[in-house]
């Protein structure tokens, strides 16, 4: 039962952190999706957007969360 309690506490902390980031996202000095390195091409009838820097940043954050989650439950 203690594993379920630990996982609920961890998930609650993650939800609180995500909620705070969403709440204060307009005050952050950077906007996810509009970071330097994100590719954006706009023409008359065509627009292409590839958020490569944002994808790398999100991948690093998710990998770190999975690492901490795995370490927390061992």
Rg over CA atoms, the chain? 17
pTM over 0.75: no
- What's the pLDDT tens digit per position in 41-69? 999 999 999 989 888 988 998 899 888 87
Structural domain for 53, as ranges: 2-72
- Alpha carbons 55 and 61: distance in angstroms, whole number: 10
Q: What is the tally of structural domains in the chain?
A: 1
- What's the pLDDT tens digit per position in 8-19? 888 888 888 888
- Alpha carbons 18 and 25: distance in angstroms, whole number: 10
């Amino acid at each position: 039962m203690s594993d379920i309690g630990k996982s609920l506490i961890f998930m609650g902390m993650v939800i609180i952190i995500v909620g705070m980031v969403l709440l204060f996202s307009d005050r952050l000095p950077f906007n996810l999706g509009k970071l330097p390195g994100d590719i954006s091409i706009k023409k008359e009838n065509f627009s292409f957007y590839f958020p490569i820097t944002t994808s790398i940043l999100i991948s690093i954050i998710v990998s770190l969360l999975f690492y901490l989650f795995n370490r927390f439950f061992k």
